[in-house]
């Protein structure tokens, strides 16, 4: 039997409710704006630090220009999230997915021949429908540009009244 494929463009993302670094519950279905959901292997590792810093550098633009928000998700606990967020001065939520229930619900593929949790970014529209999937373990910084491109396409299709096609 083949493993189920990850969340695909056009599908509605699974709902989730996870605690962020401040102990606040973030529930996907209550966020009524575009949302970048990025899964990363672990807090405080080199690639994950680059990725989090890059999203943090662009979070104001993502919020103001695209009316969107960002959440990062990995399997460490809230204490780990607090430490990582404080060290980097993060101003967006990173969520504790202990036990990987949300990672599994999104069917995020493993990386490095199944040895590491994958680094995958999903861009969701305001209704939670997936409009972009980007999977790249090694180039953590590239996820930000990919997310912003997808948000720009949604923004322009919304203002022109056209439907986004990939």
> CA 45, CA 131: separation in Å to the nearest integer?
28
Determine the 3-state secondary structure of 48 from DSSP.
helix
Give me the catalytic one of 36, 48, 85, 150. 48
Residue 48 falls in the annotated catalytic set:
yes
Closest CA to 127 of 2, 9, 12: 12
Give the start-end residues of each E strand in 45-161: 69-74, 93-96, 120-124, 130-135
Parallel, antiparallel or unpaired: strands 93-96 and 69-74: parallel
Query: What residues are labeled active site?
Result: 48
């Amino acid at each position: 039997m083949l493993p189920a494929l990850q969340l695909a463009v056009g599908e509605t993302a699974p709902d989730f409710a996870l605690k962020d670094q401040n102990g606040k519950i973030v529930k996907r279905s209550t966020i009524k704006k575009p949302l970048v959901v990025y899964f990363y292997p672990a807090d405080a590792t080199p690639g994950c630090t680059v990725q989090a810093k890059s999203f943090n550098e662009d979070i104001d633009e993502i919020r103001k220009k695209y009316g969107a928000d960002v959440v990062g998700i990995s399997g460490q606990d809230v204490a780990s999230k607090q430490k990582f967020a404080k060290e980097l001065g993060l101003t967006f939520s990173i969520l504790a997915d202990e036990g990987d229930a949300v990672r599994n619900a999104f069917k995020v593929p493993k990386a490095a021949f199944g040895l590491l949790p994958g680094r995958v970014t999903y861009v969701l529209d305001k209704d939670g429908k997936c409009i972009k999937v980007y999977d790249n373990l090694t180039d953590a910084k590239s996820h930000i540009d990919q997310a912003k491109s997808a948000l720009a396409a949604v923004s322009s299709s919304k203002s022109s009244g056209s439907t986004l096609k990939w």
